[in-house]
């Protein structure tokens, strides 16, 4: 059954516009609470990033859950993976994050986690949507849910992050520029790396409710690149607004994206870990160069649909631990239950310490194929292959690329966009093909 509200990562939209209105979010909390109540469970952890609208949605969720008889544990600003961790370790039945991740401040969203710290199943999301169709009814006053704040939530999560690194890891002498995107990790991530011994210069740690992701963070790595070179740092770490993604900058100021970070983590597991997987999960967007490098190293590689939930599904199907996306959303199931920017960065740092090599040297273990993507904004979400004209243009491009590249067209799961991506061994051919194909898509759907 097709879902009306839930996308690939919860519900997201512009603040004040459907579905991200205060009244809808209150009813969403109530609907989620009703689903929990049917299972005889009654405690939810609620966290948020630093958007000004988070105050409004936090109160709305609290009201809706209370009306359904569900208790609320409020953390305040907390990375998305931190809520996944706290939900699991505090024996809550539901985790809720108020965040639109890497989007601007005027967007917001709601993400859910199960009691195991994983994204909700399609069945549970459909059950919540079914409850939304009913009139909101409040439980008896004696059954209303209560709310309290978890004062030690940041400290709990900081210790968890540190515990995912090897006990022997000492970051003393390592100079790091840390960009927290004026987002959820602004108080937490600096403490993690400092307490492990690193010399940390933090930027993007002055949120005002309106500046989340603004010219900082993983969606704007240029700020971090400049800072790394200016401070002559060993490397830079860039998180996004809710800190479930990470990109890094090497000492030369070069960007190290999610594919390269995933490759570094996978190779470190192969070389230094007793628990070795036979493969890695990427997505349809993962660079062909990573696939080639992993296979040359004797590791299998499979592609899932774009979205961390699909990477997770494939990891579970294969029984593997490591997977991720080019955007820097990396999952290390041997360390945590969901994508975690801070934890992933620690895995890369442990590879640097163990190997004695720089980040620049480690990333050069794989050679990226030229890849270019153009986002075409459309009026409403649509399947790009619903047009015969577009389908034919894709086939023609694939024939011209032959075995030296690939073409990918996909609709964004969170925005009214069609992403046109071409990858191949010849950079100029890649640019020519993506521009031709983007023009066809624009003429058909814009």
Residues 147 and 24 in one domain: yes
Residue 260 CA: distances (Å) to CA of 291, 320, 411:
11, 18, 24
Residues 141 and 19 in one domain: yes
Q: Among residues 202, 437, 393, 421, which one has the least CA distance to residue 325?
A: 421
Residue 318 dihedral angles phi and psi, to the nearest 5°: -85, -20
Burial of 195 (0-12, 13-18, 19+ CB in 10 A): middle
Percentage, residues of the chain above pLDDT 70: 98
pLDDT, tens only, 55-85: 999 999 999 999 999 999 999 999 999 999 9
Q: Which of 255, 290, 316 is the last residue of a domain?
A: 255
Question: According to DSSP H, which parts of 303-369 are helical?
Answer: 308-318, 341-355, 359-363
pLDDT score of 213: 97
Residue 176 dihedral angles phi and psi, to the nearest 5°: -120, 135
Residues 293 and 334 in one domain: yes
Query: In the annotation, is 101 catalytic?
Result: yes
Residues 288 and 242 in one domain: no
In this structure, what CATH number is given to the domain that contains residue 400?
3.30.310.50
Q: Give dist(CA 421, CA 437) in Å, integer.
A: 9
Residues 34 and 104 in one domain: yes
pLDDT, tens only, 128-158: 999 999 999 999 999 999 999 999 999 999 9
pLDDT, tens only, 367-394: 999 999 999 998 888 888 999 999 999 9
Residue 11 CA: distances (Å) to CA of 100, 128, 194, 241, 412:
9, 12, 34, 16, 13
Could you tell me which residues are beta bridge partners of residue 112?
96
pLDDT, tens only, 13-59: 999 999 999 999 999 999 999 999 887 768 999 999 999 999 999 99
Residues 192 and 144 in one domain: no
Identify whether 2 is part of a domain.
Answer: no
Range of the domain at 219: 157-255
Mean pLDDT on 337-345: 97
- How many domains does the chain fold into? 4
Beta strands in 100-146 (DSSP E): 107-114
* Three-state DSSP class for residue 147: strand
Identify whether 5 is part of a domain.
Answer: no
pTM as predicted: 0.91
Q: Which of 214, 231, 255 is the last residue of a domain?
A: 255
Residues 242 and 195 in one domain: yes
Q: Among residues 90, 109, 40, 119, which one has the least CA distance to residue 74?
A: 90
Identify whether 116 is part of a domain.
Answer: yes
Residues 27 and 147 in one domain: yes
Q: Which of 211, 226, 255 is the last residue of a domain?
A: 255
Residues 322 and 282 in one domain: yes
Identify whether 1 is part of a domain.
Answer: no
Q: Which of 53, 99, 101, 350 is catalytic?
A: 101
pLDDT score of 415: 79
In this structure, what CATH number is given to the domain that contains residue 341?
3.40.120.10
Identify whether 185 is part of a domain.
Answer: yes
Is residue 423 within 8 A of residue 438, CB to CB? The reply is no
Residues 355 and 376 in one domain: no
Is residue 157 within 8 A of residue 95, CB to CB? The reply is no
């Amino acid at each position: 059954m097709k879902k009306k509200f839930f996308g690939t990562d919860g519900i997201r939209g512009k603040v004040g516009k459907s579905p991200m209105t205060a009244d809808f979010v209150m009813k969403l909390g109530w609907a989620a609470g009703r689903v929990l109540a049917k299972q005889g469970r009654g405690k939810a952890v609620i966290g948020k990033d630093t958007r000004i609208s988070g105050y409004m949605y936090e109160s709305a969720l609290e009201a809706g859950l209370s009306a359904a008889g569900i208790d609320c544990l409020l953390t305040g600003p907390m990375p998305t993976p931190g809520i996944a961790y706290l939900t699991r370790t505090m024996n809550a039945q539901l985790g809720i994050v108020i965040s639109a991740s890497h989007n601007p401040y005027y967007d917001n969203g709601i993400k859910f986690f199960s009691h195991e710290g994983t994204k909700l199943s399609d069945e549970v999301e459909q059950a919540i949507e079914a409850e939304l169709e009913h009139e909101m009814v409040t439980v008896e006053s004696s059954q209303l849910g209560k709310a309290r704040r978890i004062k030690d939530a940041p400290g709990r999560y900081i210790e968890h992050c540190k515990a995912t690194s090897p006990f022997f890891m000492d970051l003393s002498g390592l100079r790091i520029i840390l960009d927290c995107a004026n987002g959820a990790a602004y108080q937490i991530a600096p403490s993690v790396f400092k307490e492990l011994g690193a010399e940390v210069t933090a930027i993007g740690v002055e949120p005002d409710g309106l500046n989340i992701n603004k010219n900082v963070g993983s969606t704007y790595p240029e700020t971090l690149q400049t800072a790394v070179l200016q401070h002559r740092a060993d490397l830079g770490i860039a998180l996004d607004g809710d800190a479930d993604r990470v990109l890094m900058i090497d000492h030369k100021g070069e960007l190290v994206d999610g594919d390269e970070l995933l490759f570094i983590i996978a190779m470190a597991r192969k070389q230094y870990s007793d628990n070795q997987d036979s493969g890695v999960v990427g997505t349809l967007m993962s660079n062909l160069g990573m696939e080639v490098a992993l296979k040359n190293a004797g590791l299998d590689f499979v592609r899932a649909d774009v979205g961390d939930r699909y990477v997770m599904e494939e990891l579970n199907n294969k029984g593997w631990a490591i997977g991720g996306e080019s955007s820097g959303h990396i999952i290390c199931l041997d360390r945590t239950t969901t994508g975690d920017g801070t934890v992933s960065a620690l895995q890369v740092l442990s590879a640097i310490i163990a190997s004695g090599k720089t980040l620049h040297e480690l990333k050069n273990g794989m050679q990226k194929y030229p890849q270019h993507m153009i986002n075409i904004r459309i009026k409403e979400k649509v399947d790009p292959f619903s047009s015969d004209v577009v389908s034919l243009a894709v086939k023609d491009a694939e024939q011209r690329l032959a075995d030296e590249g690939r073409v990918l067209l996909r609709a964004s799961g969170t925005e009214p966009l069609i992403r046109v991506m071409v990858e191949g061994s010849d950079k100029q051919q890649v640019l020519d093909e993506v521009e031709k194909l983007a023009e066809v898509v624009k003429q058909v759907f814009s």
